[in-house]
Protein backbone atom coordinates (compact mmCIF):
# COMPACT_ATOMS: atom_id res chain seq x y z
CA UNK A 1 0.00 0.00 0.00
CA UNK A 2 1.52 3.35 -1.01
CA UNK A 3 2.12 5.71 1.94
CA UNK A 4 0.51 8.88 0.62
CA UNK A 5 0.23 10.39 4.12
CA UNK A 6 3.97 10.01 4.81
CA UNK A 7 4.69 11.57 1.44
CA UNK A 8 2.56 14.60 2.20
CA UNK A 9 4.12 15.11 5.62
CA UNK A 10 7.71 14.75 4.34
CA UNK A 11 8.92 18.25 5.11
CA UNK A 12 12.01 17.69 7.20
CA UNK A 13 14.51 18.43 4.44
CA UNK A 14 16.60 20.76 6.65
CA UNK A 15 17.56 22.78 3.60
CA UNK A 16 19.59 25.12 5.80
CA UNK A 17 22.00 22.23 6.58
CA UNK A 18 24.38 21.56 3.68
CA UNK A 19 24.80 17.89 2.73
CA UNK A 20 28.06 16.44 3.92
CA UNK A 21 30.78 16.41 1.29
CA UNK A 22 33.57 15.22 3.55
CA UNK A 23 36.55 13.67 1.93
CA UNK A 24 37.25 9.98 2.32
CA UNK A 25 39.34 9.16 5.43
CA UNK A 26 42.23 7.59 3.51
CA UNK A 27 44.51 9.91 1.64
CA UNK A 28 44.31 10.20 -2.11
CA UNK A 29 41.26 7.97 -2.52
CA UNK A 30 38.40 10.43 -2.54
CA UNK A 31 38.10 10.27 -6.33
CA UNK A 32 37.31 6.55 -6.35
CA UNK A 33 33.89 5.03 -6.57
CA UNK A 34 31.87 3.26 -3.90
CA UNK A 35 33.16 -0.28 -4.39
CA UNK A 36 36.82 0.70 -4.04
CA UNK A 37 36.05 2.79 -0.96
CA UNK A 38 33.99 0.01 0.57
CA UNK A 39 36.82 -2.50 0.14
CA UNK A 40 39.39 -0.05 1.51
CA UNK A 41 37.09 0.51 4.50
CA UNK A 42 36.99 -3.24 5.12
CA UNK A 43 40.80 -3.21 5.32
CA UNK A 44 41.59 0.10 7.09
CA UNK A 45 40.00 0.84 10.45
CA UNK A 46 37.79 3.91 10.18
CA UNK A 47 38.77 5.19 13.65
CA UNK A 48 42.55 4.81 13.53
CA UNK A 49 42.78 5.01 9.72
CA UNK A 50 45.30 2.15 9.97
CA UNK A 51 45.60 -1.55 9.24
CA UNK A 52 47.43 -4.63 10.48
CA UNK A 53 47.77 -6.96 7.52
CA UNK A 54 49.08 -10.46 8.17
CA UNK A 55 51.38 -11.52 5.31
CA UNK A 56 51.86 -15.23 4.70
CA UNK A 57 52.34 -15.28 0.93
CA UNK A 58 56.05 -16.11 1.22
CA UNK A 59 55.60 -19.66 -0.08
CA UNK A 60 54.94 -18.44 -3.62
CA UNK A 61 58.62 -17.59 -4.02
CA UNK A 62 60.28 -19.47 -1.14
CA UNK A 63 58.30 -22.67 -0.57
CA UNK A 64 57.72 -23.74 3.05
CA UNK A 65 59.29 -20.83 4.93
CA UNK A 66 60.15 -21.22 8.60
CA UNK A 67 56.98 -20.61 10.61
CA UNK A 68 54.74 -21.41 7.63
CA UNK A 69 55.51 -25.13 7.28
CA UNK A 70 51.92 -25.89 8.35
CA UNK A 71 49.84 -22.82 7.58
CA UNK A 72 46.73 -24.57 8.85
CA UNK A 73 48.34 -24.76 12.30
CA UNK A 74 50.34 -21.54 12.52
CA UNK A 75 48.23 -19.03 10.61
CA UNK A 76 44.79 -20.04 11.88
CA UNK A 77 45.28 -18.78 15.48
CA UNK A 78 46.46 -15.40 14.13
CA UNK A 79 43.56 -14.76 11.77
CA UNK A 80 41.18 -13.24 14.29
CA UNK A 81 43.76 -10.58 15.23
CA UNK A 82 44.54 -9.47 11.67
CA UNK A 83 42.62 -6.78 9.80
CA UNK A 84 43.56 -8.25 6.41
CA UNK A 85 45.03 -11.56 5.23
CA UNK A 86 47.70 -11.24 2.55
CA UNK A 87 48.13 -14.60 0.83
CA UNK A 88 48.07 -16.60 -2.37
CA UNK A 89 44.89 -18.17 -3.69
CA UNK A 90 46.39 -21.62 -3.03
CA UNK A 91 46.91 -20.89 0.66
CA UNK A 92 43.52 -19.23 0.89
CA UNK A 93 41.55 -22.16 -0.50
CA UNK A 94 43.61 -24.79 1.30
CA UNK A 95 44.14 -23.28 4.73
CA UNK A 96 41.91 -20.30 5.47
CA UNK A 97 38.39 -21.10 6.67
CA UNK A 98 35.87 -18.99 4.68
CA UNK A 99 34.08 -18.47 8.00
CA UNK A 100 37.02 -16.25 9.03
CA UNK A 101 35.28 -13.51 7.06
CA UNK A 102 38.45 -11.40 6.80
CA UNK A 103 39.30 -9.10 3.90
CA UNK A 104 41.83 -10.69 1.56
CA UNK A 105 44.73 -9.02 -0.19
CA UNK A 106 45.31 -11.61 -2.87
CA UNK A 107 48.83 -12.15 -4.19
CA UNK A 108 48.30 -11.83 -7.94
CA UNK A 109 51.80 -11.81 -9.46
CA UNK A 110 53.92 -14.90 -9.97
CA UNK A 111 56.51 -16.40 -12.31
CA UNK A 112 59.76 -16.50 -10.32
CA UNK A 113 61.22 -18.11 -7.21
CA UNK A 114 64.32 -17.56 -5.09
CA UNK A 115 66.00 -20.38 -7.06
CA UNK A 116 65.42 -18.83 -10.48
CA UNK A 117 67.74 -16.61 -12.48
CA UNK A 118 65.92 -13.33 -11.95
CA UNK A 119 63.25 -12.58 -9.34
CA UNK A 120 61.85 -9.69 -11.33
CA UNK A 121 60.69 -11.94 -14.18
CA UNK A 122 57.07 -12.07 -13.05
CA UNK A 123 53.73 -12.14 -14.81
CA UNK A 124 50.10 -11.78 -13.81
CA UNK A 125 49.24 -14.99 -11.97
CA UNK A 126 45.54 -14.66 -11.16
CA UNK A 127 42.70 -13.84 -13.55
CA UNK A 128 40.37 -11.09 -12.36
CA UNK A 129 37.45 -13.59 -12.40
CA UNK A 130 39.18 -15.64 -9.75
CA UNK A 131 39.93 -12.59 -7.60
CA UNK A 132 36.22 -11.75 -7.79
CA UNK A 133 35.24 -15.38 -7.10
CA UNK A 134 37.40 -15.30 -3.96
CA UNK A 135 35.83 -12.00 -2.92
CA UNK A 136 39.26 -10.34 -2.77
CA UNK A 137 39.34 -6.92 -1.15
CA UNK A 138 42.59 -6.12 -2.94
CA UNK A 139 44.99 -7.57 -5.48
CA UNK A 140 48.69 -7.43 -4.61
CA UNK A 141 51.27 -7.12 -7.38
CA UNK A 142 55.03 -7.07 -6.93
CA UNK A 143 57.03 -4.42 -8.81
CA UNK A 144 60.79 -4.40 -9.26
CA UNK A 145 61.91 -0.83 -9.90
CA UNK A 146 65.38 -0.70 -11.43
CA UNK A 147 65.61 -4.48 -11.94
CA UNK A 148 66.14 -6.32 -15.21
CA UNK A 149 62.43 -6.96 -15.75
CA UNK A 150 61.13 -3.69 -14.32
CA UNK A 151 59.07 -3.25 -17.50
CA UNK A 152 57.22 -6.57 -17.09
CA UNK A 153 56.42 -5.91 -13.47
CA UNK A 154 55.05 -2.43 -14.18
CA UNK A 155 52.99 -3.83 -17.04
CA UNK A 156 51.57 -6.48 -14.67
CA UNK A 157 50.68 -3.74 -12.24
CA UNK A 158 48.96 -1.55 -14.83
CA UNK A 159 47.03 -4.54 -16.20
CA UNK A 160 45.70 -5.54 -12.77
CA UNK A 161 44.85 -1.96 -11.82
CA UNK A 162 42.74 -1.70 -14.99
CA UNK A 163 41.06 -5.03 -14.30
CA UNK A 164 40.49 -4.09 -10.64
CA UNK A 165 38.97 -0.74 -11.52
CA UNK A 166 36.44 -2.43 -13.80
CA UNK A 167 35.15 -4.28 -10.71
CA UNK A 168 35.85 -1.88 -7.83
CA UNK A 169 38.81 -3.90 -6.48
CA UNK A 170 41.81 -1.88 -5.20
CA UNK A 171 45.37 -2.87 -6.12
CA UNK A 172 48.28 -2.98 -3.68
CA UNK A 173 51.65 -2.25 -5.28
CA UNK A 174 54.37 -4.23 -3.49
CA UNK A 175 57.82 -2.74 -3.95
CA UNK A 176 60.36 -5.56 -4.03
CA UNK A 177 63.93 -4.44 -3.44
CA UNK A 178 66.40 -6.40 -5.57
CA UNK A 179 69.79 -7.40 -4.21
CA UNK A 180 71.50 -4.62 -6.18
CA UNK A 181 69.26 -1.89 -4.74
CA UNK A 182 69.70 0.09 -1.55
CA UNK A 183 66.71 0.35 0.80
CA UNK A 184 67.08 4.09 1.28
CA UNK A 185 64.53 6.89 1.18
CA UNK A 186 65.53 7.87 -2.34
CA UNK A 187 64.88 4.41 -3.76
CA UNK A 188 61.78 3.65 -1.68
CA UNK A 189 60.41 7.13 -2.36
CA UNK A 190 60.75 6.58 -6.07
CA UNK A 191 59.35 3.03 -6.07
CA UNK A 192 56.28 3.93 -3.99
CA UNK A 193 55.59 7.06 -6.01
CA UNK A 194 55.79 5.12 -9.28
CA UNK A 195 53.20 2.63 -7.94
CA UNK A 196 50.87 5.44 -6.88
CA UNK A 197 51.21 7.29 -10.19
CA UNK A 198 50.42 4.13 -12.14
CA UNK A 199 47.22 3.99 -10.11
CA UNK A 200 47.65 1.75 -7.05
CA UNK A 201 45.22 2.55 -4.28
CA UNK A 202 47.82 1.64 -1.64
CA UNK A 203 51.47 0.67 -1.61
CA UNK A 204 53.60 -1.66 0.45
CA UNK A 205 57.25 -0.92 1.00
CA UNK A 206 60.05 -1.30 3.52
CA UNK A 207 60.81 1.05 6.38
CA UNK A 208 64.08 2.97 6.28
CA UNK A 209 65.59 4.62 9.35
CA UNK A 210 66.42 7.87 7.58
CA UNK A 211 63.95 9.93 5.58
CA UNK A 212 60.95 7.61 5.80
CA UNK A 213 58.65 10.57 6.45
CA UNK A 214 59.64 11.85 2.99
CA UNK A 215 58.72 8.49 1.47
CA UNK A 216 55.22 8.64 3.00
CA UNK A 217 54.76 12.35 2.24
CA UNK A 218 55.77 11.87 -1.40
CA UNK A 219 53.32 9.02 -1.94
CA UNK A 220 49.79 10.36 -2.52
CA UNK A 221 48.09 7.15 -1.31
CA UNK A 222 48.49 5.14 1.94
CA UNK A 223 51.70 3.20 2.54
CA UNK A 224 51.95 0.03 4.63
CA UNK A 225 55.31 -1.41 5.64
CA UNK A 226 56.56 -4.96 5.24
CA UNK A 227 58.35 -6.35 8.25
CA UNK A 228 61.28 -7.95 6.42
CA UNK A 229 63.58 -10.50 8.00
CA UNK A 230 62.93 -11.53 11.61
CA UNK A 231 64.14 -9.02 14.17
CA UNK A 232 64.13 -9.29 17.97
CA UNK A 233 60.53 -8.53 19.03
CA UNK A 234 61.49 -5.24 20.71
CA UNK A 235 63.16 -3.99 17.50
CA UNK A 236 60.20 -5.07 15.36
CA UNK A 237 57.81 -3.11 17.61
CA UNK A 238 60.14 -0.11 17.47
CA UNK A 239 60.07 -0.28 13.68
CA UNK A 240 56.24 -0.29 13.75
CA UNK A 241 56.15 2.72 16.08
CA UNK A 242 58.67 4.68 13.98
CA UNK A 243 56.91 3.86 10.72
CA UNK A 244 53.48 4.90 12.04
CA UNK A 245 54.87 8.12 13.55
CA UNK A 246 56.50 8.89 10.21
CA UNK A 247 53.30 8.51 8.21
CA UNK A 248 52.72 4.80 7.49
CA UNK A 249 49.06 3.76 7.42
CA UNK A 250 49.84 0.35 8.85
CA UNK A 251 51.88 -2.80 8.48
CA UNK A 252 51.74 -5.80 6.19
CA UNK A 253 53.86 -8.03 8.37
CA UNK A 254 54.81 -11.68 8.13
CA UNK A 255 58.02 -13.12 9.57
CA UNK A 256 58.16 -10.74 12.52
CA UNK A 257 54.79 -12.11 13.55
CA UNK A 258 54.70 -15.78 12.59
CA UNK A 259 58.37 -16.37 13.47
CA UNK A 260 58.08 -14.57 16.83
CA UNK A 261 58.50 -16.65 19.95
CA UNK A 262 54.79 -16.12 20.66
CA UNK A 263 53.04 -15.12 17.43
CA UNK A 264 49.60 -14.38 18.92
CA UNK A 265 51.12 -12.14 21.60
CA UNK A 266 53.20 -10.43 18.95
CA UNK A 267 50.31 -9.62 16.62
CA UNK A 268 48.35 -8.25 19.59
CA UNK A 269 51.30 -6.01 20.52
CA UNK A 270 51.68 -4.85 16.92
CA UNK A 271 47.97 -3.98 16.85
CA UNK A 272 48.35 -1.90 20.01
CA UNK A 273 51.16 0.13 18.40
CA UNK A 274 49.37 0.57 15.07
CA UNK A 275 45.81 1.24 16.22
CA UNK A 276 46.22 2.63 19.72
CA UNK A 277 49.54 4.43 19.42
CA UNK A 278 51.18 2.43 22.24
CA UNK A 279 54.87 3.21 22.69
CA UNK A 280 57.40 0.49 21.95
CA UNK A 281 58.22 0.13 25.64
CA UNK A 282 54.56 -0.34 26.59
CA UNK A 283 53.90 -2.68 23.67
CA UNK A 284 56.92 -4.79 24.55
CA UNK A 285 55.75 -4.98 28.15
CA UNK A 286 52.37 -6.08 26.82
CA UNK A 287 54.05 -8.70 24.62
CA UNK A 288 56.01 -10.10 27.59
CA UNK A 289 52.91 -10.28 29.78
CA UNK A 290 50.85 -11.96 27.06
CA UNK A 291 53.73 -14.33 26.32
CA UNK A 292 53.51 -15.72 29.84
CA UNK A 293 49.81 -16.49 29.30
CA UNK A 294 50.36 -17.84 25.78
CB atoms within 10 A of CB 91: 21
Touching ligand R5P, residues 220-249 (CB under 6 A): 226-228
Site for ligand R5P in 129-168 (CB under 6 A): none
Part of the chain binding ligand R5P (CB under 6 A), chosen from 17-25, 56-64, 112-120, 213-221: 56-64
Look at residue 123 and give its three-state secondary structure.
Answer: strand
Which of 37, 39, 50, 58 touches ligand R5P (CB under 6 A)? 58
Residues 6+ apart with CB under 8 A from 69: none
- From the list 262, 208, 252, the residue with the least C-alpha distance to 226 is 252
Backbone φ and ψ for 36, nearest 5 degrees, come out as -65, -45
Which of 138, 61, 78, 63 minimizes the C-alpha distance to 106? 138
- Of 240, 252, 269, 287, the one binding ligand R5P by CB under 6 A: 252
Measure the N-to-C terminal CA separation of the chain; round to a whole number of Å: 59
Among 26, 29, 40, 55, binds ligand R5P (CB under 6 A): 55
Question: Applying CB under 6 A, does 274 fall inside the site for ligand R5P?
Answer: no
Among 40, 52, 54, 61, binds ligand R5P (CB under 6 A): 61
Contact 43, 105 (CB under 8 A): yes
> Is the Cβ–Cβ distance between 200 and 221 less than 8 Å?
yes
Q: Name the residue nearer to ligand R5P (CB basis): 125 or 254.
A: 254
Q: Minimum distance from CB of 293 to ligand R5P (Å)?
A: 25
275 contacts ligand R5P (rule: CB under 6 A): no
Which residues are the active-site residues? 204
| Interface residue list for ligand R5P (CB under 6 A) | 55, 57-58, 61, 86, 174, 226-228, 252-256
Amino acid sequence: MADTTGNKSAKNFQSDVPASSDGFYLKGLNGYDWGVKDRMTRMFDTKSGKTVMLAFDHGYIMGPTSGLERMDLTVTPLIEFADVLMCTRGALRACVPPTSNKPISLRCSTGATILGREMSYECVGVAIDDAIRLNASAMAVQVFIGAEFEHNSLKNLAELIDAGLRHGIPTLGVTAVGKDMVRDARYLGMATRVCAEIGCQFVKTYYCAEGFEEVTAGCPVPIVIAGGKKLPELDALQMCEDAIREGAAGVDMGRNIFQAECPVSMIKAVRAVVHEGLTTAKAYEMYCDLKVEE
